[in-house]
Amino acid sequence: MTIDLTTPVDADGATEQATSLAGPRQGAVPLPVQLPVQLPVHRPGDAGYEAARLPWNVAVDQRPAAVVVPRTVADVQAAVRAAAAEGLRVAAQSTGHNPGPLVAQGLSDVVLVRMHEMRGVSIDPVRRTARVEGGAIWIDATEPAADHGLAALHGSSPDVGIAGYTLGGGIGWYARKLGLASNSVTAIELVTADGEHVRADASENRELFWALRGGGGNFGVVTAIEFRLYPIETAYAGMLVWDVRHADRVVRRWAEWAADAPDCVSTSLRLLNLPPLPMIPEPLRGRSLVVVDGAVDDCDAQARAVLSLLRGLGPEIDTFDRVPARALPRIHMDPEGPTPGVSGSAMVGTMTDAAVDTLLEQSGPDSGTSLLSTELRQLGGALGRPAENGGALTHLDAQHALFAVGIAATPELAAAGRADADRLVAAMRPFESGRTYLNFAEEPTDVRKAFDELTWLQLKGIRSAYDSDNRFVANHRVPRLFENGRVSD
């Protein structure tokens, strides 16, 4: 059976003749009366397909059977129902920061639902909550929240999609004090495999609510998320910068300091090899550096005391100071806008001297690495303690999250970055905690390693109940209990 959709509109505003989601061109057929909406659809060969299919990480070549750009919940329902009628699978995506594992599963029979037109945000300053649509990015929420003296548990980049970040856990500059972003979610609205729009919270669809908080996009197309905001107007935040020749003493001091730091502080350490590009500030341009950045959610006196051990190493740049909370999404200086990249990640236990030696051998001043950044995120604190009623992912069982990235502007740079990232992750394997953090896993990985055995079994059961036909494709796949005639791994 083929369901035809109404006349689609290209990204450039040009109107195309309607067709089925993946079939040949036909005459325009309106949607059923109960779905009186226009649904832009882009298929291979259409003028708007190339632009519509591009993820944020443009190094990944995703070519789905069709791309749908909904503007309303009814649009999402129409897309899911049409895909089901044509025997196609569905994948939701807002920005496409982490498309690699999705593409690796094959998209030739997948309708990609790009959510970027659904970016509505509402703030309730009395209840201290935000409600964001499924395509909203963090800057959409952090700015209006800050207008009310409130802060969200955002990440280190302003243009990451809130839904994907939050469904996978979410760690940012308040994380060691307030935990994973997914643990602060109060409700999620989504379109399920049968095209129904449902709400999941602590009292309604509770098992689905549990699974969504950490289980990713395996259970439907998320159309809205509600989450708690916190009364944070300012933080003591910034960065400390040293030339890379000081890497040995800085990395060792930071590793010792991070292990005992109070929960009010969340930081990152990076070994950076910055290209000589004009958008990079002149003092940093074309240099190799060690950078510690982050935030302290405490008074100035306590913050200065916490940072004193690192400041004693004499950084050449020190920007830590009292800043508005609205400034925190950009202190990490992550690139905004589409960027080609390759990466590798691991969850690391204690950074022993041997672990530091290995890190410096692979990414330090004498390594010759092509990687733009080798980063250790400081975990522990609230991130290391199971959150009560926190969902499928209650905590992260590691002391550090390792994330390495290389710029993939050319095939040669991509190959070099891929090789260096793989080499680094392999070298650090003896120091891994045994878990993985899926938001940082930008290549196919063993998804089971993100959860304990009981949680994994429960996630598979809930996937079976809500998506028995295997309709949805997520970046990191949770299988159904039984697949291909046998019990799934």
Cα 414 to Cα 434: distance, rounded to the nearest angstrom: 28
Q: pLDDT for 365-414, tens place per residue?
A: 999 999 999 999 999 999 999 999 999 999 999 999 999 999 999 999 99
Reduced 3-state DSSP string for 226-278:
EEECECCCEEEEEEEEEEHHHHHHHHHHHHHHHHHCCCCEEEEEEEEECCCCC
Q: pLDDT for 166-209, tens place per residue?
A: 999 999 999 999 999 999 999 999 999 999 999 999 999 999 99
Cα 206 to Cα 391: distance, rounded to the nearest angstrom: 10
Torsion angle defined by CA atoms of residues 328, 329, 331 and 332, in that order, rounded to the nearest 10 degrees: 140
Residue 21 is predicted with a pLDDT of 62
Would you say 347 and 437 are in contact if contact means Cβ atoms under 8 Å apart?
A: yes
Q: pLDDT for 256-280, tens place per residue?
A: 999 999 999 999 999 999 999 888 8
Cα 115 to Cα 26: distance, rounded to the nearest angstrom: 26
Residue 281's pLDDT band (cuts 50, 70, 90): confident
Cα 364 → chain centroid:
27
Residues in a beta bridge with 293: 239, 268
Residue 280 is predicted with a pLDDT of 87
How far apart, in Å, are the Cα atoms of 414 and each of 110, 197, 419, 448? 26, 41, 9, 28
Would you say 298 and 255 are in contact if contact means Cβ atoms under 8 Å apart?
A: no
Domains of the chain: 1-117 (3.30.43.10), 121-228 (3.30.465.10), 236-440 (3.40.462.20)
DSSP secondary structure code for residue 19 in this structure: B
Q: pLDDT for 61-94, tens place per residue?
A: 999 999 999 999 999 999 999 999 999 999 999 9
